[in-house]
Chains A and B, each alone.
Chain A
Amino acid sequence: MIMYKSAIFLFFIIVSTSNKYVIAENDEDTSTDLYVIEGKVFPWENGASNGWQLMTHVMANGGEHYGFLREDGTFIISNVPSGSYIIEVVNPNCVYEPVRVEINSKGKFRARKVNLIQTSQVIQVPYPLKMRPLTPFRYFQVREQWRVTDFLFNPMVLMMILPLLLIMIIPKIMNDPETRKEMEQLNNFTNYNMPEMSEVITSFLSGGEKQKSKAVKAAKKRQ
């Protein structure tokens, strides 16, 4: 996630350095000309449910101006004086990325990505707008389902079972004279031959399979 952000950030910097535009901070309302913002909204996947156009509308600056979708998804927002507008697609099921549209007093349009933190950065997007859904809304949490494995690997359960095993099994081993001897040997081994531990490990890893089968046999015998 963080990496993703930083990548975008880098991209921003590159774009912003190469950009010549300077944003007019406050457009003077000298011209009373009104403009029309145009664009198209695409539904989520092609098999969108019927009537998605009805659920969707386009909003400029949080509801100052509205645009409604035609059947093919195109929209216009009319009666817009020059200025800067955040165009958002309002749909309860899908997230759309908002776009900032700037109309200068001469009626020139420019669309760019919305960056509320670095307001001077400009990444242009094509105009007329093409609003594509990013992802469907996920309003709900997924309910946890009860599974045996979840239960067994629950740390609490593991903590209970492991000591139980140790308690039950270790005394049995200790009774066995052969293993006791082996144990002592191992203790000496681990105590004084620290650097060669890797060898032990490798031997263990390579001989793991064998040991296991042996262990099973041993267990059978004991029973």
Chain B
Amino acid sequence: MAPFVRSFRGNIHRFLIDVQILQYLIILVGLFNLSLCLYEDQVGKFDWKQNYVGKIKFASFDTVSAAKKIIVATEENVIAALNLKSGQILWRRVLEKGYGGQIRALGGVTDGDLVSVSGGVPAIVRAWDLATGHILHEWPIAEQNHDRIKDVKWHIKDGTLHHILPIYNSAVEVTSYDSKTGDKLKTRRVSAPFITQETECVLAAPYLACLKGDSSLAVLLLVHLFDTHSQPQSVTINTIFGAGAQGPYHLESILGEEPIISISADNNQRKRILLVGEVPVPIQRDIVGDAALYVVSIDNEKILLETTYKNGVTEIVASELLTSKPMPNISTSVTHNSLLSPTIIASVCPRQTKGVTCRHLLASEDHSVALLQHNKLIWAREEALANIVAVEIIELPMSDRDQEIETEFDQKESIDVDSSWDVLSMMFRRIGSQLKQAKTFLQSILSLTPQQSNQRMDLVRDKFGLHKMIVLVTSAGKLYGIETRKGEIIWQLRVRGIRGFSKRSDAIILYVQRGSRHFPYPPQCVLLAEDKQTGEGIVYTFNPITGQPLDGLVKLGYRIKQSMLLHVTTDDFLRGILIFDIRDKVHVYPKGATAIAASIAKNTYIFTADQTTGILSGYSLSYSTSQELISHKVWELLLSPKNQRITHVVSKNPIERVHSQGRVLSDRSVLYKYINPNLVTIVTEGVGHTHKNTLNLYLLDVVSGAMIFSIMHKRVRGPVHVVHSENWIVYSYFNEKSRRTEIASLELYEGKIQSNTTVFSSLTTTKLPIVERQAFIFPAAIESMRETITEKGITSKHIIVALANGGILELPWMMVDPRRPINPEVREEGVIPYMPEIPIHMDAIINYNQSVFRVSGIHTSPSGLESTCLVFVHGLDLFYTRVAPSKTFDVLKEDFDYYLIVIVLAALLISSYITKKLASQKAQKQAWK
């Protein structure tokens, strides 16, 4: 019996260990169940993807291949083929990011092959298959002069690549390569002693045209590149313009197959054309300065196309180049919404049976590209969307019927929030709003003011708040409204003459001043940017649902340093914005909100960070009066630019809410989170020889100016991506020493006691938090990171990670929890044991095989459902989906088995009846016994 008992005990022990493992398993399984896994039949149900190529740099019609198409190369380092009929992408090759993939030349399409020159030093020459987009050949060009790559001109013709480099004060060096094999064919030096660093030269193959001299006495010199014995020809400006032309002159090569250049004079008021050849032929005709020129040949006859844009009308005037005889059958004029000061970048005019029909590829100033055939716009692509700088996701307005019901509740809520409302004003408000409602109702009945035509019936809020409007701001200054269901562009808006803040890497700031919950007030968004000419700030307000401008473009007359959205609203539910100019003066937009802003000025602080000087300062507005806001500096610190360069300043999402204030430990005590809304993460990279490859991360309280924590990594480098939320910071970097991407996470706790249970104050809390930290290996390169956000913050947080391989990973925060125990004996609820490497699970890739490349940002937004978070990924492609980090606990699963529950219920009902009958029968039998 004894051995039996012993073995029994052993087994019990073993069983307990098994239970442990089982627990882990349950946690793990639970975890991966938690991550959103898609079913195959849900593909495209709530996600969509759009592909773009970017702003066109080079384009060419492929008329050689069987399938006609357009080959484009773009500023985003993309080479793509577009369908001629629809504009869809046939194939697309994304080259290296940034400088390393910059496309310098594209050519050879007319000869049936496609050669691109891209990258820095040395440049890479790639030959592509026109039809399929495969690479055929690739070879690097050995460059002697490393720093002069931008002066190099490229010419691709007949399978030969010419590398043309002007050598100052001596000659032009032309090196020819076989574009397929990379064999050096010939090197020539054509004497051109007049070329200096200031000389403006353009390529008009086979000539190089250079403008020499100052604005009064300019001479045009033409060098034949393939004839070493020829002498440079010179043409004086006077022979082109005649007498009386004023400088400065500007030289431009005209697109098209012919060697033709244009010279502009009189401050770009007019320009003239010069045909380059053995005998240069100037055309004695003035062309308006802002006309875009293109030369196309029809039946060996050169036709000049002048494109002008005025008041929304694009006019293309064709004329014979030599005779200037107008050709009205080719000239067109078109009015279309997606054209804005377009230029022809490629054109073909084949002769068909009906006559000549021209196809022009037009690239607009706002980055959009369109195909014009005869005088009809065949298609247009909104390529501005490949470069998005600001995103907001906005709730759609309610349907009219819902609005009537909801308005009252909304107002009551706002009254609750602000208890200073008295009964009388409440009543007035009520009556006022009802009058307004009645008015709009009457108006709609009598149709006095017709309903806004671009307001569509389906653009209303749904039950769960999943259908929203994405407002996008692009670097081209074009705004878009995209609905989330299908990704359809609802409206587009151009704001001309703006650019991003040059000090903040061309960021444009977008604020939502009023959401769509305040019927009858329209929702309002505001855009903050810089004026293109003066660099002073501009404000632009618009309705984010309809895309209508509200106040139009307002020039502020000062440069913007910092801005902030107030959390209080004016009477009409408009949240003002505080704008801080470079002279430390505070402005409020709109002006009417000054009094409201002044009322909270006592507790309002602004901080600024200057990347060039490394100075961070904090300002208080406590000396403000109700007429004017006055700032005074309360703290200042210096991250010396000698040692480090500020790369990231990351604050928390202002709409974030933290549901749970603490964390339950294994001994049932609570560890309170350090939730400081004023905490800002500042990341700097070391500069100089000794501090190179160090990464510093500082946590700064921007109200008190106190440093909370700082950490330093040695031998690591960027790209750094930071996520800052609740009481944690997760950041990724590349470890130079171990040569891998790592994710570090910090978590801040107050300790076992909470300093203030009601509200956090930066000024009263002096105790530094406990900082938990851990690092993990991440087996992929990261392009961007963002945390999920939900309405109430109950749902657990996941981190959306855009990977370099095109996947979008949903990474549970639990995986990067710094409290993951290294010792497996120490266990806490919901904490998985530490593993150095974070696994990437295939089913956590939320965009499945819809790879998105060159991700520049991820925007997350809460939906009406607590469980669900909307995710919008932008970059070269746009991708939208929704994720449920804790599964959809608040709605029935969409595959919920309604039949099963009906069957079970029915069966139970029936069986209860039957048993009742049986029981009564039995009782009857019993009675008979």
Residue numbers of A with Cβ under 8 A of B are: 25-26, 34, 36, 51, 53-54, 57, 59, 61-71, 75-76, 78-79, 84, 86, 88, 90, 92-93, 95, 116-117, 119, 137-143, 146, 151
Contacts and interface: CB of A to CB of B under 8 A. Distances in A.
A218 B93 CA distance: 78
Contacts of A78: 124, 138-140
A60 B185 CA distance: 31
17 contacts: A34-B140, A53-B132, A67-B138, A68-B93, A76-B138, A78-B124, A79-B124, A86-B739, A95-B842, A137-B849, A138-B842, A139-B842, A139-B843, A139-B845, A141-B38, A143-B39, A146-B899
Contact of A116 (B37, B136, B779): B779
A171 B447 CA distance: 80
A89 B58 CA distance: 29
A63 B804 contact: yes
Contacts of B804: 59, 62-63
Given A79-B122, A119-B740, A146-B897, A63 B777 contact: no
B851 A68 contact: no
A143 B805 CA distance: 27
Nearest to A75: B135
B95 A117 contact: no
Contact of B848 (A61, A140, A142): A140
B589 interface: no
B780 interface: yes
Contact of B895 (A34, A36, A65, A143): A143
Given A63-B781, A140-B40, A92 B806 contact: yes
Q: Which of B129, B805, B836 has the most CB of A within 10 A?
A: B805
A51 B133 CA distance: 9
Contact of B738 (A57, A68, A119): A119
Given A36-B140, A51-B132, 13 more contacts: A26-B737, A34-B122, A53-B134, A70-B134, A70-B135, A76-B138, A78-B140, A79-B119, A88-B805, A92-B806, A117-B837, A139-B842, A139-B843
Q: Which of A66, A70, A119 has the most CB of B within 10 A?
A: A66
Given A34-B140, A88-B805, A140-B843, A116 B777 contact: yes
Contacts of A140: 37-40, 43, 843, 848
B780 A62 contact: yes
A119 B851 contact: no
Task: List the 3 shortest-distance A-B pairs measured between CB atoms, nearest first.
Answer: A62-B781, A92-B849, A139-B848
A154 B849 CA distance: 35
Nearest to A71: B134
A165 to B, nearest CB: 14
Contacts of B842: 95, 137-139
A153 B687 CA distance: 67
Interface stretch (B96-104, B490-498, B703-711): B96-104
A47 to B, nearest CB: 18
Contacts of B93: 54, 57, 68
B797 interface: no
B129 A71 contact: yes
B126 interface: yes
A146 B836 contact: no
Nearest to A102: B739
Given A92-B849, A139-B842, A141-B843, A63 B96 contact: yes
A61 B39 contact: no
Given A62-B780, A139-B845, A143-B895, A68 B132 contact: no
A116 B97 CA distance: 25
Interface residues of B, number: 54
B900 to A, nearest CB: 7
Contacts of A92: 806, 848-851
Contacts of A119: 738-740
Given A34-B140, A63-B96, A54 B122 contact: no
Contacts of A65: 96, 100
Contacts of B119: 79
Contacts of A146: 897, 899-900
Interface string B767-782: 0000000000101111
A55 B39 CA distance: 23
A63 B97 contact: yes
Nearest to A95: B842
Nearest to A83: B739
Contacts of A54: 91, 93, 132-134
B129 A59 contact: no
A223 to B, nearest CB: 15
A91 to B, nearest CB: 9
Nearest to A25: B737
A78 B119 CA distance: 11
A27 B2 CA distance: 66
Contact of B135 (A25, A69, A139): A69
B475 interface: no
B67 to A, nearest CB: 14
A151 B519 CA distance: 51
A70 B136 contact: yes
B50 to A, nearest CB: 16
A84 B739 CA distance: 8
B95 A66 contact: yes
Interface string B814-851: 00000000000000000000001100001101001111
A75 B740 CA distance: 24
B475 to A, nearest CB: 21
Nearest to B715: A26
Contacts of B843: 138-141
A116 B135 contact: no
B741 interface: yes
Contacts of A142: 39
Nearest to B41: A143
Contacts of A63: 96-97, 781, 804
A64 B96 contact: yes
